Chain A
Amino acid sequence: MSSTKYILGLFDDPDEMMHGIDILQKNSVPIYDVFTPMPIHGIERKLGIKDSRLGYAAFMFGCLGGTTIFAMASYMLAIDWPINIGGKPAFSVPDFIPITFEWTVLFTAFGMVATFFYATHLFPGRTPRVMDLRATDDRFVIAIDAKGNTPHEDITNLLKQAGAVEVKHNDRKYVSYE
């Protein structure tokens, strides 16, 4: 029984890595995840990853922000303490537009980014779950769960054949822990 937990194919070129994904998929090897130093366009479709739904979250937060400040301003100036400013109406909608816009943007930005951090488990001090330290530098890493995906030699050969500069058999899932 091998102690390998994950097989990593390290590529030095994004296009060769995409080629590697094709080859693995053709041979029915499931891919655990791919770690890259930059966004790779088109990889989501290849790996069958659904579109991000953050846009919906952003829209909802935007609506919330705009509604909140508009309601606040209306309550404060028209209901709670209407002040006579040159006889002009207390409920002066055009004057509320700038602040309504600002808080729409504010809530959208903070709400969406918070959702992003929450969904992706990003927060200050989170231990980085890094499989290969060069994946944030110059290596495009395909990770394959070794469990059940045998024989490992065949996977290694497939990766090599696709142009991987290095294939690693890691005994630990993450190398970033002390």
Chain B
Amino acid sequence: MASHSESIIREPLVTGKDITYAKITNDILRPVEKMPGRAWWIGFTVASLGACLWVFAVSWTFWYGIGEWGLNKTIGWAWDITGFVWWVGIGHAGTLISAILLLFRQNWRNSINRSAEAMTIFAVICAATYVVSHMGRPWLAYWPLPLPNQFGSLWVNFNSPLVWDVFAISTYFSVSLVFWYTGLLPDLASIRDRATGIRRKIYSVCSFGWTGSVKTWQRFETVCLILAGISTPLVLSVHTIVSMDFATSLEPGWHTTIFPPYFVAGAIFSGFAMVQTLLLVARKVLGLENYITMFHVEAMNKIILLTGSIVGVAYLTEFFIAYYSGSEYEQYVFLNRFIGPYWWAGCMMYGCNVLMTQLMWFKKIRTNVAASWALSIVVNIGMWFERFVIIVVSLHRDFLPSSWAMFYPTWVDMSVFIGSIGLFFTMFLLFIRVFPSIAIAEVKLILKSSSEQAKKKLMEHGGLDPEQVEHYKESLTVFDSVEIADYKTTKQ
């Protein structure tokens, strides 16, 4: 049934008064149906300048080759793979929210899944561009595919983690895209049925003729559930395979058996930080505080705390195993993170990811928008440094001391990275203009059970445990979208 009443001790997932189904549609579609405000234009201008920089830097790389990057004989892999792993990791939160939280029936995912999935797709696009541009000869980018060819056919080596990665990333991207677009169909139909003229025609094509009949919804839910079921192991496999790019090598600092779970936790960690970075701004600018509430913000912060701590345990394990292995090369690599020339990168990695995240234990910080946003940026930076430390710091001390080197990025390295951030935000800003940034149908689904007004009705109806009601009112005090004064008067 659409409206079983939920326990009063659970926080509301939709706040605000007089929220009707029509109001949900209106609120969520406002950014799509109205002209964007000044904040959007400023953001879009800055982001698209970044995207232009990206186009320029990548074109430069293609024209002159990857010799334009700061790579040298010792450090043959640096910002490119760092950026790649960083972006792929960021993508993981979207699938976690849309798939794993769906399997666990976490209803709070309903209002954040759409933008998180969009973020996944854009992040994986950014990651994929690194793969293509670091090939040096991008017109041969089809070589990792097992296609018949004139060399014999000389097949790809399926024993190689890099080939596994091609399969993993391409599957991940296309399955995420299918999942996201299928979920969009009912909401695109909502736009279609309200639009006129050319907009109606465009959304009509995009919505595939969705009607919302019983059978369609039934199949839709089956599809979403199965997609969630297969995306869950998929997302775990993707970063496992990314970590195997390193873990199957013979490089101290890389060939660590803990890498798969450590990378997956780190990926979810960084991904949630990016979701937080985007949504804390989006909820304010788009006026969606009633749908992306403080509960959502806090829940995401809790996941950041959990995964950040898992990453912390993985770091400690690495150090212990380096000590316990008795291998002096292994021990040197880990000691070198603090006493070598890249000590500052090591400090950024451990400081941002482990120490700063521990602040999330305090509820005051978890429920403070400014602090959460600042910490999300800190995590984004820390996770970039984690990959930098693993990749560059492990490589820069070669087995031969005569080959020891430092890595100095050129302007092309920096422009590709900064540009990819611009590209990401350009795509995200376009997304919130043309597609509903919250899954409308899924929010409607929880309106009658989990909204603030439904809980209020429950309280007015009476017969509840006063202790639980007090607990509920207490939990509302952290919400920035709830009128606390209303609850002072409605004493039981």
B219 touches A52 (CB 8 A): yes
Interface check A128, CB cutoff 8 A: yes
A18-B156 Cα distance, complex, nearest whole Å? 57
Chain B binding surface SS class: helix
Interface check B455, CB cutoff 8 A: no
Interface check B233, CB cutoff 8 A: yes
A106 touches B175 (CB 8 A): yes
Interface check A35, CB cutoff 8 A: yes
Assuming the contacts A38-B445, A44-B218, A120-B219, asked whether A58 and B178 have C-beta atoms less than 8 A apart, the reply is: no
Neighbouring A residues of B301 by C-beta, 8 Å: none
Expressed in whole angstroms, the minimum distance between the Cβ of B105 and any Cβ of chain A is 12
Interface check B163, CB cutoff 8 A: yes
Q: Name the residue on A nearest B439 (C-beta).
A: A38
A137 touches B190 (CB 8 A): yes
B208 touches A126 (CB 8 A): yes
Contact string, B288-322, partner A, CB cutoff 8 A, digits 1/0?
00000000000000000000000000000000000
Which of B2, B157, B175, B241 counts the most chain A CB atoms within 10 A? B2
A95-B93 Cα distance, complex, nearest whole Å? 27
A35 touches B193 (CB 8 A): no
B174 touches A123 (CB 8 A): no
Contact string, B169-193, partner A, CB cutoff 8 A, digits 1/0?
0010011001100100110011011
Expressed in whole angstroms, the minimum distance between the Cβ of A92 and any Cβ of chain B is 6
Contact string, A123-138, partner B, CB cutoff 8 A, digits 1/0?
1111111110111111
Neighbouring B residues of A40 by C-beta, 8 Å: 2, 214, 217
Interface check A166, CB cutoff 8 A: no
Interface check B442, CB cutoff 8 A: yes
Assuming the contacts A14-B448, A136-B190, asked whether A98 and B1 have C-beta atoms less than 8 A apart, the reply is: no
Expressed in whole angstroms, the minimum distance between the Cβ of B196 and any Cβ of chain A is 11
A98 touches B168 (CB 8 A): yes
Interface check B60, CB cutoff 8 A: no
A130 touches B193 (CB 8 A): yes
A42 touches B1 (CB 8 A): yes
A38 touches B209 (CB 8 A): no
Interface check B153, CB cutoff 8 A: yes
Query: How big is chain B's contact interface, by range?
Result: 35 or more
Identify the stretch in A22-30, A108-116, A154-162 within 8 Å (CB) of chain B at 4 or more residues. Answer: A108-116
Which of B171, B186, B210 counts the most chain A CB atoms within 10 A? B171
Assuming the contacts A14-B3, A101-B233, asked whether A43 and B214 have C-beta atoms less than 8 A apart, the reply is: yes
Q: Of the candidates B157, B212, B222, which one forms a contact with A36 in the assembled complex, judged by CB atoms under 8 Å apart? A: B212
Interface check B152, CB cutoff 8 A: yes
Interface check B230, CB cutoff 8 A: yes
Q: For window 98-124 of chain B, which residues contact chain A by CB distance below 8 Å? A: none
Contact string, B199-235, partner A, CB cutoff 8 A, digits 1/0?
0000011111111111111111111001100110110
Binding site for B on A (CB under 8 A): 12, 14-15, 18, 33-44, 47, 49, 52, 54-55, 58, 62, 69, 72-73, 76-77, 80-81, 83, 85, 88, 92, 95-96, 98-99, 101-103, 105-106, 108-110, 112-113, 116-117, 119-131, 133-138, 176
5 A-B Cβ contacts within 8 A?
Answer: A39-B445, A72-B146, A81-B153, A113-B223, A130-B193
Sorted nearest first, the 4 A-B pairs with minimum C-beta distance are A126-B209, A138-B21, A14-B2, A76-B155
